[in-house]
Structure 1
Amino acid sequence: MRDGTDFVELARIWRGPLVESVHRGTVVVADFEGRLVGSWGDAGLMTFPRSSLKPFQAMALVESGAADAFGLSDEYIAMACASHDAEPFQTGLVGNWLGRLGLTEEALVCGPALPRREDDMATAFAQGGPRRLYHNCSGKHCGFLTVAKHLGAGLDYARPDHPAQKLYLDILSDYLGRDATKLPVGRDGCGLPTLALPMRDLSRAAARLGLGYSGNAARRAAAKRVLGAMTAYPDHLSGLDSPTARIVRATGGRVAVKGGAEGFVMAVVPDRGLGITIKIADGAARAKYGVLARTLGHFGVLPTAEAEALVESVNGQITDSTGAVVGGTEIVFETPVPTSETKATLGFWLGGVKEAFF
């Protein structure tokens, strides 16, 4: 990131009658050739997509034959893409997965963590406290372990030169249309290498993922299976009835969604051949799914009314300690303009919406 000119205003946080905070960011929509279908902010913004890259990592699990070799259903493929809340059904899958590998959770590179939801956290403390199993990336790490075992490589899969990492980078390079090994590398919160890349490039890769774009037949099949798992089991990707799951269900599975840390989210729209990436500049997550829902309406993936209902569904309310609603999130990015005559009130005009009378 360079300066504020990279970003546009995307959302406002209201408390009572006043705007308390503003979220700026970048939205990039591209097709499989990399043509910009829409761009708000700097499409060339170099940033870390973080967990939004997990679908490409999960492709190695399928393409290598490791998933079938260990009898992994699509629920496990979804968990390989997940940044999960460590709900019981999720940790149960991860525990079973490790058992199939003949390993314990100590084989996971990610550190011990706690579940995200209060009831599950209380249960975790009652059963001994933090565990690697609870880490939100434990499914991804099981994926890398599975590829490592299937390839007969060592279990030190965090090494940049490990065969499992090399296969992932080869897949990502194919979909990016550039050599991923030349991209800037940082270290993710789970201990694995993480790449920085231009948002435009990842939007193109997302569009290609939706189309199964590759000269490699096994890779095309892997792309189809990974996306199928993500849309068939959207609760696995984050948590039960999460914004991710709501968007997938609202679109009838026509959109696959994968969030990343620090305000990032990627969406794949196969039937439109589009890839969408969104970055909230300050790293807050609370506005990104509302921005995505608005984007889906802007490009006709959902009818405007359905998209706006989805915006409200995925935007979190601002509450006080008693649970009373005291504010909310307003998505200001591309506010829909009415296309038929309406009775314009003072509030309507002060809200900054222009009537399309002509």
Structure 2
Amino acid sequence: MTDATDFVELARIWRGPAVESVHSGAVVVTNIDGRLVGCWGDAGTVTFPRSSLKPFQAIGLIESGAADALGLSDEHIAMACASHGAEPFQVALVEDWLGRLGLDESALVCDPALPRAQGDIVAACQAGGPRRIFHNCSGKHCGFLSVARQLGAGLDYANPANPAQLLYMDVLSEYLGRDARKLPMGYDHCGLPAAAVPMRDMATAMARLAVGWSANSARRAAAKRVVRAMTNHPDHLSGMDAATSRLVRAAKGKVVLKGGAEGYLLAAAPERGLGFAIKVADGGSRVKWGVLARMLGHFGVMPEAEAEALIQLVEPPVPNSNGAGGNRTEIVLETPVPTTPTEASLAFWMGGVKEALFP
């Protein structure tokens, strides 16, 4: 992801009568066969989905038998997919999970952190300060710990050669339709390996996950349980009444989604068999939710009027400190029209060029 021509304008931030900021990015929509249904920007853009990959990582937790062996609930499964704010109910689930493993938080690779909300930060500092269980990825780490133990492997689950990581690579490879081990690899902020993936492949993988697609019956069942946990417990994925929760509830279960750092967002509409990959080029997260809401209207996942109202719900105006004025978000993304010589329509037809060159 190095070329600014990969991207189109997604949103504008207004302050009073003038535009203050502009966010560009890419949006790719595919079906479960990988057919490109819609594209704004280059569909072959290669970048890191970051925490958007957590649902795929959670599949191994169920497929391996670890979830059943530990008696984990769907709330635990949702926490395995979470980028949580360390709200009390989330911390309680992580503590319960470690207790089932007979381990303490020192077994987690992620660094100590503080909760997200101001009140929770104060309480955490009064109780001793940062802890690993407060890290937003602690649920995912519990998942990998559980798989490693179930497979009789060492607890060095951050090691790419650990069987828990190998199982995840196998899962991701099937859903992407390419060998995930050959993707460019870095490390996530939490210390685990992170893959960079063409956006078209990632949208396809999400579409497949949402419908429980797999050649493996155990994996199909695992995918369906992951999706059920995410849609039934959206507050666990981020925080109470966060943008994730508002989108899932407004869509009445017709959408499953997971955000990632640096402006990434994956979503799928199971009934439509569609997957969505969204990347905000500057890494900001404040407009990606509104972009997804616009997509839900464009592709008939929900009525357009409801989708446009949802934009205001997930991207509300931000007031100044005195409660007045502030800024508001305008989603400018429109449906690409192939006969109109716009940057968006050119990308629609050229989408996948970089992907074709990608090894």
TM class by shorter chain equals over 0.9
Give the structure 2 partner of residue 31 of structure 1: 31
What CA distance in whole angstroms lies between the structure 2 residues aligned with 1:232 and 1:275?
A: 19
In 1, the alpha carbon distance for the partners of 2:191 and 2:153 equals 19
Q: Secondary structure at the match of 1:300?
A: coil
CA contact (8 A) 1:286 1:316 kept: no
Secondary structure at the counterpart of residue 83 of structure 2: coil
Aligned counterparts of 2:331 and 2:112: Cα–Cα separation in 1: 36
What does 1:127-166 align with in structure 2 at a 5 Å threshold? Answer: 127-166=127-166
Output the amino acid matched with 1:331.
Answer: I
- Paired with 1:268 and 1:163, the residues of 2 have a C-alpha distance of 29
What number of residue pairs does the alignment pair up? 336
**Alignment deviations for residues 242-295 of structure 1 (CA, whole Å, 9 cap, x no partner):** 110111101111101100000000001111101100000000000000000000
Q: Which amino acid in 1 is paired with 2:241?
A: D
Q: Which residue does the alignment assign to 2:9?
A: 9
Structure 1 CA distance, aligned partners of 2:5 and 2:162?
Answer: 39
TM-score (norm 2): 0.92
How far, CA to CA, are the matches of 1:150 and 1:159 in structure 2?
Answer: 16
The residue number in structure 2 matching 1:294 is 294
**Amino acid across the alignment from 1:221:** A
> SS of 2:141's equivalent?
helix
CA separation in 2, counterparts of 1:312 and 1:91?
A: 30
Structure 2 residue matching 1:200: 3-state secondary structure: helix
Could you tell me which residue of structure 2 aligns to residue 273 of structure 1?
273
1:311 corresponds to which residue?
Answer: 311
Residue 228 of structure 1 is matched in structure 2 by: 228
C-alpha distance in 1 between matches for 2:316 and 2:86: 21
Q: Verify the 8 A CA contact 2:26 2:42 in the aligned structure 1.
A: yes
Q: Who is 2:67 aligned against?
A: 67
Structure number with greater CO (CA < 8 Å, separation at least 6) is 2
Does the Cα contact within 8 Å between 1:52 and 1:258 map onto a contact in 2?
Answer: yes
**CA spacing shift, 1:335–1:218, aligned 2, 3 Å:** closer
Deviation at 1:212, TM superposition (A): 1.3
Residue 333 of structure 1 deviates from its aligned partner by 0.7
Q: Could you tell me which residue of structure 1 aligns to residue 118 of structure 2?
A: 118
Partner of 1:106: 106
**Equivalent in the alignment of 1:210:** 210
2: CA distance, partners of 1:25 / 1:167: 32
Equivalent residues of 1:15, 1:318 under 8 A apart: no
DSSP-derived class of the 1:39 partner = strand
Q: Output the CA distance in 2 between the equivalents of 1:56 and 1:323.
A: 41
Q: Output the amino acid matched with 1:101.
A: L
Identity of aligned residues (%): 68
Whole-angstrom CA distance in 1 between matches of 2:188 and 2:335: 35
Instruction: Report the Cα distance in structure 2 between the residues aligned to 1:321 and 1:5, rounded to whole angstroms.
Output: 37
Q: Find the residue that maps to 1:84 and give its secondary structure.
A: coil
Q: Does 1:200 align with 2:200?
A: yes
Give SS of 2:60's match. helix
Q: Deviations over 1:164-200 (max 9, x none)?
A: 0000000000110100000000010000000001000
**Hey, what's the Cα distance between the residues in 2 that align with 1:234 and 1:97?**
19
Residue 113 of structure 1 and its aligned partner are, at CA, apart by: 0.5
Match of 2:353 in 1: none
Quote the Cα distance in structure 2 between the aligned partners of 1:151 and 1:74: 21
Q: How big is the shift at 1:317?
A: 2.0
Kindly indicate whether residue 273 of structure 2 is the aligned counterpart of residue 241 of structure 1: no
SS at match of 2:326: strand
- Give the Cα separation in 1 of the matches to 2:13 and 2:262: 17
Aligned to 1:84: 84
State the Cα distance separating 1:335 from its structure 2 match. 7.7
Partner of 2:347: none
TM-score with structure 1 setting the length? 0.93
Q: Supply the distance in 2 between the matched residues of 1:47 and 1:193 (Cα, whole angstroms).
A: 14
Structure 2 letter corresponding to 1:27: V
Match of 2:357 in 1: none
